[in-house]
Amino acid sequence: MTALRELYQQLIIDHGRNPRHFGELAAADYVKEGYNPLCGDKVKVYLQVNHNVIQQATFKGAGCAISIASASLMSEALIGKTLDEAKILFQQFHNLMTKAHSEKEDSNNANSDLGKLVVLSGVSEFPMRVKCATLAWHTFISAIHHDQKPVSTE
Ligand code: ZN
């Protein structure tokens, strides 16, 4: 478990320092900005969607390593998913970040599509950091629902 945890931490650090899919997307169909006032994380999510399939997902932002790593991992996970699949993935990720540990073991073994996103599971032990990890996801969900309200974790 310790080795696994170290591997998870390395992946978060890697994605925090060298985020994938970072930058504006000129052809974006959905653009949304989110803010986590607790930590000061800001993220802007860009999505290109064709026939209900996410063709491209990028983000821009500034914040702590966890918020950037989570947005990077989210972008990787979203590309190629239908909007419905992406909404299910959001639910699974949200559960992973908010559930107690015993329940989490079960959900990890279930047929979840979380893949690499499980590297963020350790963050659920730190309630302050959970908002850093879920910011990009809340911003994404708000974007595809054409929600006019600004996204804030508070
Ligand atoms: Zn943060």
Is 109:92 a contact under the CB 8 Å cutoff?
no
| pLDDT value of residue 105 | 56
| Cα–Cα distance measured from residue 151 to residue 36, given in angstroms and rounded to the nearest whole number | 8
| pLDDT value of residue 110 | 54
CA of 50 to the centre of ligand 1 (A): 31
Report, in angstroms and rounded to the nearest whole number, the Rg of the chain calculated over CA atoms. Answer: 15
The candidate with the shortest Cα–Cα distance to 95, out of 72, 118, 115, 66, is 118
Residues, the chain: 154
| Cα–Cα distance measured from residue 77 to residue 116, given in angstroms and rounded to the nearest whole number | 8
Give pLDDT tens digits along the chain (154 positions). 578 888 899 999 999 999 999 999 999 999 999 999 999 999 999 999 999 999 999 999 999 999 999 999 999 999 999 999 999 999 999 999 987 555 555 555 455 789 999 999 989 888 889 999 999 999 999 999 987 788 998 7
In angstroms, the Cα distances linking 101 to 110, 111, 119 are: 14, 18, 14
CA of 98 to the centre of ligand 1 (A): 16
Which alpha helices (H) appear in the chain, and where do they start and end? 2-17, 65-78, 83-98, 101-109, 127-144
CA of 57 to the centre of ligand 1 (A): 21
CA of 39 to the centre of ligand 1 (A): 5
Contact partners, residue 140, CB within 8 Å, separation at least 6? 32, 45, 47, 57, 74, 78, 86, 90
User: Is residue 60 helix, strand or coil?
Assistant: strand
CA of 128 to the centre of ligand 1 (A): 8
| pLDDT value of residue 49 | 97
